[in-house]
Structure 1
Amino acid sequence: MDYNQKAKEILEAIGGADNVEAAAHCATRLRLVLKDESLVDEAKLDKMDVVKGTFATGGQFQIIIGSGTVNQVYAKLAPLAGVSEMTTKDDVKKAGTKKLNPIQQFVKVLSDIFVPIIPAIVAAGLLMGINNILTAEDLFYDGMSLIDANPGIADLASLINTFANAAFVFLPILIGFSAAQRFGGNAFLGAALGMLMVHPDLLNGYGYADALLEGTIPVWNILGFEIEKVGYQGTVLPILVAAFILAKIEQLLRKVIPAALDNLLTPLFTLFITGILTFTFVGPITRTGGDMITGGLVWLFETAGFIGGGLFGLIYAPIVITGMHHSFIAVETQLLADLARTGGSFIFPVAAMSNVAQGAAALAVIFITANKKMKSIASASGISALLGISEPAMFGVNLKLRYPFIAAIIGAAIGSAYITLNKVLSVAIGPAGLPGIIAIRVDVILHFIIGMVLTFVVAFALTFVFAKRQQLKEKKNESNAA
Structure 2
Amino acid sequence: MSENRQIAQEIIEAVGGKDNIVSAAHCATRLRLMVKDKEKIDQVKVENIEKVKGAFFNSGQFQIILGTGTVNRIYEEVQKLGVTGMTKGDQAKEAAKSGNAFQRAVRSFGDVFVPIIPVLVATGLFMGLRGLVMQEQILALFGLTPDDISQNFILFTQVLTDTAFIFLPALIAWSTFRVFGGTPIIGLVLGLMLVSPSLPNAWAVAGGDAEPIKFLGFIPVLGYQGSVIPAFIAGIVGAKLEQAIRKRVPEVLDLILTPFLTLLVMITLALFVIGPVFHSVEEVILAGTTAVLELPFGLSGLLIGFVHQIIVVTGVHHIFNLLEIQLLEKFGNNPFNAIITCSIAAQGGAALAVGLKTKSKKLKALALPSSLSAFLGITEPAIFGVNLRFVKPFIMGLIGGATGAFLASLFGLKATGMAITVIPGTLLYLNGQILLYLFVNLVSIGVAFALTWLFGYTEKMNEQTEKGSNVA
The TM-score normalised by the length of structure 1 is 0.90
Question: Match for 1:407 among 384, 390, 396?
Answer: 396
Residues 85-141 of structure 1 deviation map (CA, whole Å, 9 limit, x = unaligned): 3x122322232223311221121111110111111111111111111222244x547
Q: Does the Cα contact within 8 Å between 1:301 and 1:346 map onto a contact in 2?
A: yes
Q: Secondary structure at the match of 2:34?
A: strand
Q: 1:326 to 1:453 in 2, by over 3 A?
A: same
Report the number of matched residues. Answer: 463
Q: 2:244 maps to what in 1?
A: 252
Which shows bigger deviation, 390-399 or 202-211? 202-211
- Does residue 38 in structure 1 map to residue 39 in structure 2? yes
Q: Does the Cα contact within 8 Å between 1:147 and 1:153 map onto a contact in 2?
A: no
- Distance in structure 1 (CA, Å) of the matches to 2:457 and 2:270: 61
- Does residue 356 in structure 1 map to residue 356 in structure 2? no
> Structure 2 counterpart of 1:174, which letter?
L
Q: 2:468 maps to what in 1?
A: none
Q: Secondary structure at the match of 1:15?
A: coil
Q: 1:97 maps to what in 2?
A: 96
Q: Does the Cα contact within 8 Å between 2:23 and 2:83 map onto a contact in 1?
A: no
Q: CA deviation at 1:447?
A: 2.6
Q: Secondary structure at the match of 2:52?
A: coil
- Does residue 66 in structure 1 map to residue 67 in structure 2? yes
> Structure 1 counterpart of 2:440, which letter?
G
> Structure 1 counterpart of 2:180, which letter?
F
- Distance in structure 1 (CA, Å) of the matches to 2:393 and 2:39: 26
Please give the residue correspondences for 1:440-479 in structure 2 after superposition, counting only pairs within 5 Å. Answer: 440=429, 442-467=431-456
Q: 1:121 maps to what in 2?
A: 120
Q: Secondary structure at the match of 2:25?
A: strand
- Does residue 132 in structure 1 map to residue 131 in structure 2? yes
- Distance in structure 2 (CA, Å) of the matches to 1:119 and 1:12: 39
Q: CA deviation at 1:311?
A: 1.5
Q: CA deviation at 1:5?
A: 2.5
> Structure 2 counterpart of 1:203, which letter?
P
Which shows bigger deviation, 443-452 or 284-293? 443-452
Q: Does the Cα contact within 8 Å between 1:362 and 1:398 map onto a contact in 2?
A: yes
Percentage of matched positions with identical amino acids = 37
Which shows bigger deviation, 296-305 or 406-415? 296-305
Residues 231-284 of structure 1 deviation map (CA, whole Å, 9 limit, x = unaligned): 111110000000111111111111211111111100000011000010111101
Q: 1:480 maps to what in 2?
A: none
Question: Match for 1:148 among 145, 148, 151?
Answer: 145
Q: 1:204 to 1:82 in 2, by over 3 A?
A: same
Residues 329-372 of structure 1 deviation map (CA, whole Å, 9 limit, x = unaligned): 11111111112xxx522221122111111111111122210111
Q: Secondary structure at the match of 1:63?
A: strand
> Structure 1 counterpart of 2:65, which letter?
I
Q: 2:263 maps to what in 1?
A: 271
Segments of structure 1 that go 5 or more residues without pairing to the other structure are: 476-482
Which shows bigger deviation, 227-236 or 260-269? 227-236
> Structure 2 counterpart of 1:297, which letter?
T
Q: 1:429 maps to what in 2?
A: 418
Residues 282-341 of structure 1 deviation map (CA, whole Å, 9 limit, x = unaligned): 1011111111111121122113541232111111111110011111011111111112xx
Question: Match for 1:285 among 248, 258, 277?
Answer: 277
Q: CA deviation at 1:413?
A: 0.5
Q: CA deviation at 1:430?
A: 3.8
Please give the residue correspondences for 1:135-214 in structure 2 after superposition, counting only pairs within 5 Å. Answer: 135-137=134-136, 140=138, 148=145, 151=148, 155-156=152-153, 158-211=155-208
Which shows bigger deviation, 151-160 or 169-178? 151-160
Q: CA deviation at 1:226?
A: 7.8
- Distance in structure 1 (CA, Å) of the matches to 2:68 and 2:453: 30
Q: 1:470 to 1:73 in 2, by over 3 A?
A: closer
Q: CA deviation at 1:389?
A: 0.9
- Distance in structure 2 (CA, Å) of the matches to 1:289 and 1:400: 40
Please give the residue correspondences for 1:281-430 in structure 2 after superposition, counting only pairs within 5 Å. Answer: 281-339=273-331, 344-430=333-419
> Structure 1 counterpart of 2:211, which letter?
T
> Structure 2 counterpart of 1:202, which letter?
L
Residues 380-418 of structure 1 deviation map (CA, whole Å, 9 limit, x = unaligned): 111111111111111111111222212111100000111
Which shows bigger deviation, 93-102 or 197-206? 93-102
Q: 2:106 maps to what in 1?
A: 107
- Distance in structure 2 (CA, Å) of the matches to 1:130 and 1:472: 46
Q: CA deviation at 1:47?
A: 2.1
Q: Secondary structure at the match of 1:22?
A: strand
Q: CA RMSD in A?
A: 2.6
- Distance in structure 1 (CA, Å) of the matches to 2:200 and 2:301: 37
Q: 2:212 maps to what in 1?
A: 217
Please give the residue correspondences for 1:225-264 in structure 2 after superposition, counting only pairs within 5 Å. Answer: 228-264=220-256
Which shows bigger deviation, 394-403 or 264-273? 394-403
> Structure 2 counterpart of 1:185, which letter?
G
Which shows bigger deviation, 427-436 or 151-160? 151-160
Which shows bigger deviation, 126-135 or 443-452? 443-452
Q: Does the Cα contact within 8 Å between 1:368 and 1:467 map onto a contact in 2?
A: no
- Distance in structure 2 (CA, Å) of the matches to 1:362 and 1:46: 16
Q: 1:68 to 1:472 in 2, by over 3 A?
A: closer
Q: Secondary structure at the match of 2:99?
A: coil
Q: 1:97 to 1:473 in 2, by over 3 A?
A: closer
Q: Does the Cα contact within 8 Å between 2:65 and 2:381 map onto a contact in 1?
A: yes
Q: Does the Cα contact within 8 Å between 1:359 and 1:383 map onto a contact in 2?
A: yes
Residues 439-476 of structure 1 deviation map (CA, whole Å, 9 limit, x = unaligned): 1373543332221111111111111111477869999x
Q: CA deviation at 1:171?
A: 0.8
Q: 1:30 to 1:472 in 2, by over 3 A?
A: closer
Q: Does the Cα contact within 8 Å between 2:354 and 2:457 map onto a contact in 1?
A: no
- Distance in structure 1 (CA, Å) of the matches to 2:341 and 2:269: 40
Residues 161-205 of structure 1 deviation map (CA, whole Å, 9 limit, x = unaligned): 311211111111111111011111111111111110111222211
Q: Does the Cα contact within 8 Å between 2:169 and 2:227 map onto a contact in 1?
A: yes
Q: 1:478 maps to what in 2?
A: none
The TM-score normalised by the length of structure 2 is 0.91
Q: 1:472 to 1:428 in 2, by over 3 A?
A: closer
> Structure 2 counterpart of 1:277, which letter?
L
> Structure 2 counterpart of 1:173, which letter?
A
Q: Secondary structure at the match of 2:50?
A: coil
> Structure 1 counterpart of 2:55, which letter?
T
Segments of structure 2 that go 5 or more residues without pairing to the other structure are: 465-472
Q: Secondary structure at the match of 1:428?
A: coil
Q: Does the Cα contact within 8 Å between 2:400 and 2:445 map onto a contact in 1?
A: yes
